[in-house]
Amino acid sequence: MSSTVKHEEKPTTAGRTGGGSGGFGSLLRLRELPVLIALALLVLITFLNNPLFLSPQGIKDLLLNATIIVILAAGQTLLIITRNIDLSVGSMLGLVAFGTGSIFAAMPDLPILAVLLLGMAFGAVLGMVNGFLVTVAKVPALVITLGTLYVFRGFNNAWAGGKQYFAGDRPEAFGALSVDTVLGFPIITLLAIAVVAAVAVYMAGTRPGRDLYAIGSDPEAAKVLGIKVSKRVFLAFLANGALAGLAGVLYASRFNSVGATTGTGMELDVVAAAVVGGVAIFGGSGTVAGAALGALLLTTITSSLTALRVDKFWQQAIVGILILTAIVIDRLASLRTARKLRMSEARNV
Amino acid sequence: MMLNRKNTGRRAQLAPLMAITAAAAMALTACGGGSGTTGETSAAVQEQKITFIPKQLNNPYTDVVLGGGKDGSQEAGFASSQVVGPLEASASSQVSFINAETQAGTNVIVIAANDPDAVCTALGEARSAGAKIVAFDSDANPDCRDVFISQVVAKEVALIQTKLIAEQIGGSGEIAILSATANATNQNEWIKFMEEDLASNPAYKDIKLVAKVYGDDDDTKSFQEAQGLLQAHPNLKGIISPTTVGIAATARYLSTSAYKGKVALTGLGLPNEMRPFVKDGTVKEFALWDPAQLGYVAAFAGKALVEGKITGAPGDKFTAGELGDRTVEEGGVVIVGPPTVFNAQNIDQYDF
């Protein structure tokens, strides 16, 4: 797997210094194509069976359902691409969401922007804990963040106890962020789109962003090339934490209650979204747009199966099948790329 | 058998202390605890311990119940009361906590079963070790507990909810139920009575129950289930949510969507959680009992069982502190009290 990815990445890492990489750009885009087609088909079939699915309220619900997972998936992509992972996002979101509830309970007049920034800072600190442990202790992120998943959740349980904050405890304007729409898009969804766009530009168009791909393709080679691997990975964890923080604040805006169990189990949805969206779990390839589409697809499946009145017990099985399909497609695509590259290299020699 | 023989050996040294209290039953069950367990039991007359195992910790409803349980335990004279339990309300998650209580020699285990049968074996072991089992909130299989403290008569809870929804939708139209987990004992019993009531009561002949969905007592899931209900059933006029998490999540969704004021919502909710939705008109009326009384009565029932004043047989009577006498009814059920209906006029008088 890693060797095929390496082949695929060579041209794109070269692309950052030189001009366009059209052929490979479209190849990369292919990874997202199946997701897009699946999403379109799903929405179409559901719509034909139940026109209410695409009523203004229906569309708004679909977008809102995806928003928080999209933001988390954007952060997760940064990490998975570097061959890392963060399983503690659900716990980080929970801590920040409960923190948001506490802040508003203590200082109801605090400007919303300040709360957003505070939440992101809080998340960034938690992300730094992960990043520090991973880069300094040199233990796989899977293990470290599995640990912090429980540690953060433990803090949340100790801090919150049975206390919950409800939507009624927060200013109306704050809740309105996830109710009011601009051009049909809820405000928090626009925020998520902005996040995805920013991360996408960073990853595709900046040197540190390209470094992340290089690190994920081959960490040793990246080090040899002079890339500051630890620093980049640490910053990726920090950024992921900040995004989990943002998601936590938005969670408090959208949902009624925040408490000790908020966000439990969310990490798996997030990783699933990234994988379904074509982000290779062994790092080195995938895009944040793909992960966002993956998130949209997974949340839309839940909504459409409910709208189609399919028994909800099937929903998890279907999500599982999708993950497996995504991995098979990913594997086939990289095998084919590897074969093509081998053939073209052979001819060139 | 090897273990047993070893125990007997150790016991022989302690024999003078133990005197007649060492029952044969103890020898069978004391494999793990050895002589320590037996010693504790003989001292238990003064030092009685009660442990509450709710469906899930850190659930606001549970907290109120447990608050009442703590008060009740103190007043009933337990030396210590504690709360242990899972953070997630899943079928098997309570078993390890029951086992731990058995080993600790707890005298009374008060449990709200996530699944009536999954906890049965573990409760059976606890009983044979001498513990009394009080089920509350959600019943365990009647074979595995001594008494069940029920909020209210299950049928009464069901009927008040069908009555409220019928009033709110004007007696006709499609309704749906958004419940907790698909195998929650109490919710399923209420739903059964609601279905019977809707089918048999002529006043409800124009009301059609079109769906039952499960939000697993999870805010996010309940939220999405509420959305799905409204999409799948465009003519839906009302939702009954017989669970505090479900009704609050649904209320939040309704109050932030185009359905506000168009789709009625009732069920069982906590006044503190539902207050904003009652005030903004999303919810007209909902019901609940006083959850604190549930824990309170459970503690006194546990005390009466330990002291041998009741056995859980129908007709047994005990005093539940300031709430007065309670009688064990058919099936070992003890009823706490009638449900209360909350609306904009009275909701501010309640704080739980």
Q: What is the pLDDT of residues A93-114, one digit of tens each?
A: 999 999 999 999 999 889 999 9
Any domain includes B96? yes
Whether B219 is covered by a domain: the verdict is yes
Same domain, B224 and B331: no
**Record: contact B227-A255, CB cut-off 8 A:** no
What is the helix (H) or strand (E) element at residue A192, kind and residue range?
A: helix A187-205
**Do residue B14 and residue B63 come from a single domain?**
yes
For the segment A186-227, what is each residue's pLDDT rounded down to a tens digit? 999 999 999 999 999 999 999 999 999 999 999 899 999 999
Check whether residue B70 and residue B218 sit in a common domain. no
In a domain, B280, yes or no: yes
Q: Is residue B344 a part of any domain in this protein?
A: no
CA distances from A105 to A102, A114, A261 (A): 5, 15, 19
> Would you place residue A348 in the very low, low, confident or very high pLDDT band (cuts 50, 70, 90)?
low
| Residue in the block written with tokens 């009660």 | B50
Residue in A47, A50, A61, A301 to test binding to B, most B beta-carbons within 10 Å: A61
Q: Which residues in chain B are closer than 8 Å to A65, comparing Cβ atoms?
A: 224, 227
B152 three-state secondary structure: coil
The verdict on B147 and B296 lying in the same domain is yes
Total structural domains in chain B? Answer: 2
Find out whether B41 and B21 touch, Cβ atoms under 8 Å.
Answer: yes
pLDDT tens for A232-260 read 999 999 999 999 999 999 999 998 889 88
Q: Tens digits of per-residue pLDDT, B239-288?
A: 999 999 999 999 999 998 889 889 999 999 989 889 989 998 999 999 99
Both B127 and B163 in one domain: the answer is no
User: pLDDT of B300-348, one tens digit each?
Assistant: 999 999 999 999 889 999 999 888 888 898 889 998 888 889 999 999 8
Q: Are residues B254 and B312 in the same domain?
A: no
State the Cα–Cα distance between residues B182 and B135, nearest whole angstrom.
20
CB pairs under 8 A between A and B: 96
Q: Residue holding tokens 């962020």? A: A177
Residue at B279 is within a domain: yes
Domain extent, residue B113, equals 3-151+290-336
Residues B159, B200: one domain?
A: yes
d(CA A74, CA A71): 5
Residue A41: burial class (beta carbons within 10 Å; 0-12, 13-18, 19+): exposed
User: Does residue A49 have a pLDDT over 70?
Assistant: yes
In this structure, the answer to whether residues B265 and B190 fall within a common structural domain is yes
- What is the SS3 assignment for A185? strand
Domain end point (choices B267, B288, B309): B288
Q: Which residues of B58-82 are buried (b: 16+ CB within 10 A; e: fewer)?
A: bbbbbbbbbbbbbbbbeebebeebe
Task: Please report which helix (H) or strand (E) contains residue A119, including its range.
Answer: helix A112-137
Q: Which amino acid is at A83?
A: R
DSSP state of B203: G
Judge if B95 and B109 occupy the same domain. Answer: yes
Closest CA to B264 of B340, B171, B182: B171
Closest chain B residue by Cα to residue A308: B232
DSSP symbol at B81: E
Please report whether residue B348 resides in a domain: no
Same domain, B159 and B276: yes
Nearest to A255 among B63, B223, B259 (CB): B223
The per-residue pLDDT for range A127-147, each reduced to its tens digit, is 999 999 999 988 899 999 999
CA distance B219 to B205: 33
Tell me what ipTM this predicted complex has: 0.75
- Nearest C-alpha in B relative to A69: B220
Contact A57 B232 (CB under 8 A): no
Does residue B7 share a domain with residue B139? yes
Residues B242, B326 within the same domain: no
Torsion of CA A331, A337, A341, A347, to 10 degrees: 120
Q: Do B249 and A256 touch (CB under 8 A)?
A: yes
B352 part of a folded domain? no
Judge whether B347 lies within some domain.
Answer: no
Task: Say whether B228 and A307 touch across the interface (CB within 8 A).
Answer: yes
Q: Supply the DSSP string of B227-258, one letter for each residue.
A: HHHHHH-TTEEEEEE-SHHHHHHHHHHHHTST
Structure-token match 């630890």, residue found: A230
3-state secondary structure (DSSP) of residue B180: coil
Residues 99-158 (A) with a CB less than 8 A from some CB of B? 157
What is the C-alpha to C-alpha distance for residues A103 and A105, in angstroms, rounded to an integer?
Answer: 5
Mean pLDDT taken over chain A: 86
Say yes or no for a CB contact (<8 Å) between A312 and B220.
no
> Which two tokens mark B101?
């209580």
Q: What is the CATH number of the domain that holds B201?
A: 3.40.50.2300
A309 inside 8 A of chain B by CB:
yes
Contacts of A94 in chain B (CB under 8 A): none
Grouping H, G, I as helix, E, B as strand and the rest as coil, residue A20 is coil
- Closest CB to A307 among B232, B245, B256: B232
